Amino acid sequence: MASALEELQKDLEEVKVLLEKTSRKRVRDALTVEKSKIETEIKNKMQQKSQRKAELLDNEKPAAVVAPITTGYTVKISNYGWDQSDKFVKIYITLTGVHQVPTENVQVHFTERSFDLLVKNLNGKSYSMIVNNLLKPISVEGSSKKVKTDTVLILCRKKAENTRWDYLTQVEKECKEKEKPSYDTETDPSEGLMNVLKKIYEDGDDDMKRTINKAWVESREKQAKGDTEF
């Protein structure tokens, strides 16, 4: 037995044949209206068929697995401290509550000249720190991490033991060296000294500034006194 959709398609074909044969405007208009109605019915039937098919496929799918709750966003770590021993460069990162997260949530990846830290799902956030271009090579196998109360300690094993690191990264070294005053032998030596004092004054704390001011005043007083005696 033919389906309703097949019957409609046959009706449509027959209407098309009649449209081609008729020359009467009134008949053509009536057939055109009928053709549109049949085409609309066919379209509706096909949509219903597709919808039923999709529902059947959905029913056959296994139950969806609910994904675990992920962290909201990642915070970039910029504050840290560091020091060193003969064998290790030690980086200290303070993160409140980090000792309470699962061990696998604290991950550190080392290369010979870099490390990156990722702390996942700490108070609904992730924390990330990437340090590239370490000042000197480190031993990947000998480097590690320790999680203490509110602190992550990263231990970078020096490849060359008993060597001192003046900076943590090569970039930091280059930036500091650029900031150093240049000494031009062709200029007035007193001008170079003034530049050094100015740099120390700008970078110094309040005590340093008071000391420099005091020394400057005393120097000026001595100079004025010397000029008078002369």
| pLDDT score at 80 | 92
Q: What is the mean pLDDT of residues 84-111?
A: 95
Residues 153 and 100 occupy one common structural domain: yes
Find the domain containing 134 and state its range.
Answer: 74-175
Q: Is residue 217 part of a domain?
A: no
3-state SS, the chain, equals CCCHHHHHHHHHHHHHHHHHHCCCHHHHHHHHHHHHHHHHHHHHHHHHHHHHHHHHHHHHCCCCCCCCCCCCCEEECCCCEEEECCCEEEEEEECCCHHHCCHHHEEEEEECCEEEEEEEEECCEEEEEEECCECCCEEEEEEEEEEECCEEEEEEEECCCCCCCCCCEHHHHHHHHHHCCCCCCCCCHHHHHHHHHHHHHHHCCHHHHHHHHHHHHHHHHHHHHHHHHC
Q: Is residue 207 part of a domain?
A: no
Domain CATH for 136: 2.60.40.790
Q: Indicate the range of 101-115, 131-145, 148-162, 184-198 predicted with least confidence.
A: 184-198
- Phi and psi at residue 91, to the nearest 5°: -115, 130
Q: Is residue 48 part of a domain?
A: no
> What total number of domains does the chain contain?
2
Q: Is residue 163 part of a domain?
A: yes
Residues 39 and 79 occupy one common structural domain: no
- CB of 126 closer than 8 Å to CB of 75: yes
Residues 90 and 152 occupy one common structural domain: yes
| pLDDT score at 183 | 52
Distance CA 7, CA 106 (A): 67
Q: What is the mean pLDDT of residues 210-221?
A: 72
Q: What is the mean pLDDT of residues 105-132?
A: 94
Q: Is residue 126 part of a domain?
A: yes
Residues 171 and 79 occupy one common structural domain: yes
Q: What is the mean pLDDT of residues 60-76?
A: 64
Residues 98 and 38 occupy one common structural domain: no
Q: Is residue 20 part of a domain?
A: yes
Q: What is the mean pLDDT of residues 146-162?
A: 95
| pLDDT score at 63 | 57
Q: Tell how far CA 203 is from the center of its chain.
A: 32
| pLDDT score at 26 | 82
| pLDDT score at 1 | 44
| pLDDT score at 227 | 54
